[in-house]
Amino acid sequence: MLCVVVGTLLFWAWNLRLRKPQLESGWDAKVIVLAGGGERTRFEDPFGIAARADGTIFVSDGFEMPRVRALSPNGRVADVAGGRPGFEDGPGKTARFQTISGLALAPDGTLYVADTGNNAIRRIAPDGSVSTAAGDGVAGYQDGPARQARFNGPIGVAVDRTGRVLVADTYNDRIRRIELDGTVATIGSAHIFNTPTGVASDATDRVYIADAGSGAVHVLDPAGDLITLPAPYPGELARPIGVAVAVGGEVYVTDERGRIVEIDALGSSRVVAGASPGFADGYGAAARFRRPSGVAVLAPGRLVVADTGNALIRLVAAASQLEFRPPPRPGIDPRFDAESFGREPLLWPVAPMAGPHEIAGTMGEARGSDAERLHAGIDVRIEEGTPVLTARAAVVSSPVSTGGFGSLNEWLRIGPITYVHIRAGRGRDERPLDPGRFVGSYDVEGTLVGIRVKRGARFESGDTIASVNRFNHVHMSVGWAGEELNPLAFRLLQFADRIPPTIPRTGVTLLDDAGKRLVRKIGGRVVVSGPVQIVVEAWDQADGNRPNRRLAPHALGYQVLHADGSPVDGFERPYETIRMDQLGPEADARLIYAAGSGIPFYGGRTTRFLFTVTNTFQHGVASKGRWDAGQLAAGNYVVRVFARDSQGNSTSQDLRVIVEAPVAPQLGR
């Protein structure tokens, strides 16, 4: 059934011919799934994409089974070449690739492949045979004859109007060109790039470069001059990965924020689709992508995108061009596979990896000078210079999986785990650990100014990947960036917490709608008469914590009781409003934490966590709420607030209140 749906979608995407109106400027985009999620069209790591005039779409895919696949308009899905890791030319399915990325079609039907892991550019002839266009499999930087030329993890590839092959030689920070006679040359050598990942060309031989590390799209003209195209407003490009140019001069760019950006021929830019990471079909900013990579132009107002993080192929089309509604897609809901990840216990990122170590921070804690963001994982207390180890074997997918070089918040992402507060790929002496997987960036004086981990680099559990920086702890988060899950849910080895959270005796307060604390009391009870916010101060400790350590509890909530202890209607069970099980890309921490929350690093005297438990935070989504005491009959009540840690230890604190009858308005005589 899925094959039929995919075939119908592809046929519809390409062959709709009736009554097409003129494509309007600033067209509104509709995003739908073209392929992925089914048995025959399941992808592992779709990255590069190219489209042939007959409607066939080519996709590069996979780490464990690196291959090029073809989606035909009739719904047939076929492997064109590859299927096992290696470096071997020959007939299609006997050929071998290693982490393939960008794709590009030549006018004669030859398909060029950026074979990132083999440091080579491969070509697939129309008959399916695979040969090496340039590169010998060894990482390096050398121009010259094809068999002697060397690349370092090339990711982007394109073919210009004359048939020359353009290469984004990613980890050499260069743009290379394979001439018609096979000679490899560097172009634009007077300019400095930073991890270029995408490359395209127009009819005037201008070369467009998605420069992921600098967050920009550059244009290199035939004279060698370089200009930078404007980024969309509001916001900048976040690690642009793929780039394509339409016949009309429009430039389309994918970025890792999950957006498809258009820059028109006059230099005006806008976001066509997407806004933040996730998955959703729909119109414009309502659509969601996760790490979109390759992009190809099918026709004016019609793009096809490799949605890498969601393992899908998506169509982005002008809504005005869609005369017919496409057939409904099958039920697709890409999610991080927590069940599979959790089959093995989680190791610690420092020795001994079986633990235990002191936990210095938990998921969901308030961070930032105004407690405006949430802590995305756990902090492991350890001394500066300690080697950081891979907690789970994985392959690096994103071309840019490091950031914040030299800062306290320097980070490294390997598979589903992110490590922060480290010297990525370097020891305490700042020397690179493994040149085969980590690549340095150097200034003109030879000073190390950045570090990258190569797309396709493989790591085993226990590999040394970094050292702890002067923050004296390593942060570890699990899951997709911006949608992290709580690491303590994955059986962190020998982690123990037998200490219940603490709520101080005076830790429960009530605020009115203006945020003013209610202080009036009658008989020792706080007087309430309408909607209020309930704020509770709470913290936790785990086994092995220092006496002054404060961690955020895992869950909080409240219950309203009659004075005799029986629950009020609607509160038969405690209402768990806050649960730190996962984060969301758009969660506002200030809905969870009241003013005054934070840690000393951001200026506070002590660690304080003040939770607004009448608001909710569930499954990464925060929303406003309140308790309307005015709905109760006048009388005495108890507000019971509870806090629970990740191991199930719980504590509670009561606040006695009196609900006062509303005062009738005075009528004038």
- Select from 489, 524, 540 the last residue of a domain: 489
| Residue 589 belongs to some domain of the structure | yes
Q: For 599-643, what is each residue's pLDDT tens digit?
A: 887 666 789 999 999 999 999 999 999 999 999 999 999 999 999
Same structural domain, 540 and 524:
yes
Q: How many CB atoms lie within 10 A of CB 313?
A: 27
Count of structural domains within the chain:
4
| Residue 646 belongs to some domain of the structure | yes
Residue 116 belongs to domain with CATH number: 2.120.10.30
- Select from 489, 521, 546 the last residue of a domain: 489
Tell the burial category of 42 from Cβ atoms under 10 Å away from its Cβ (0-12, 13-18, 19+).
middle
Same structural domain, 478 and 550:
no
Output the pTM of the full model. Answer: 0.93
- pLDDT the model gives residue 601: 79
| Residue 234 belongs to some domain of the structure | yes
Tell the burial category of 647 from Cβ atoms under 10 Å away from its Cβ (0-12, 13-18, 19+).
middle
Alpha helices in 208-300 (DSSP H): none
The secondary structure element, H or E, covering residue 211 is: strand 207-211
Same structural domain, 564 and 622:
yes
| Residue 183 belongs to some domain of the structure | yes
Q: What is the mean pLDDT of the chain?
A: 92
| Residue 360 belongs to some domain of the structure | yes
Same structural domain, 345 and 320:
no
| Residue 327 belongs to some domain of the structure | yes
- pLDDT the model gives residue 443: 87
Same structural domain, 302 and 321:
yes
What domain range is 463 assigned to? 338-489
Contact of 247 with 302, CB cutoff 8 Å: no
| Residue 463 belongs to some domain of the structure | yes
Same structural domain, 632 and 538:
yes
Name, in order, each residue with C-beta under 8 angstroms of 250's C-beta and a sequence gap of 6 or more: 262, 263, 264, 265
| Residue 363 belongs to some domain of the structure | yes
Same structural domain, 145 and 161:
yes
- Select from 294, 311, 332 the last residue of a domain: 332
Which segments of the chain have a pLDDT < 70? 1-22, 39-40, 233-235, 322-330, 602-604, 662-669
Name, in order, each residue with C-beta under 8 angstroms of 64's C-beta and a sequence gap of 6 or more: 44, 85
- pLDDT the model gives residue 21: 58
Same structural domain, 381 and 436:
yes
Same structural domain, 181 and 70:
yes
Same structural domain, 270 and 352:
no
Pick the closest to residue 115 from 63, 43, 160 (CA basis). 63
Cα angle 43, 154, 73; round to 5: 35
Residue 402 belongs to domain with CATH number: 2.70.70.10
- pLDDT the model gives residue 186: 98
Same structural domain, 646 and 521:
yes
- pLDDT the model gives residue 669: 42
Residue 291 belongs to domain with CATH number: 2.40.10.500
- pLDDT the model gives residue 604: 66
Same structural domain, 358 and 413:
yes
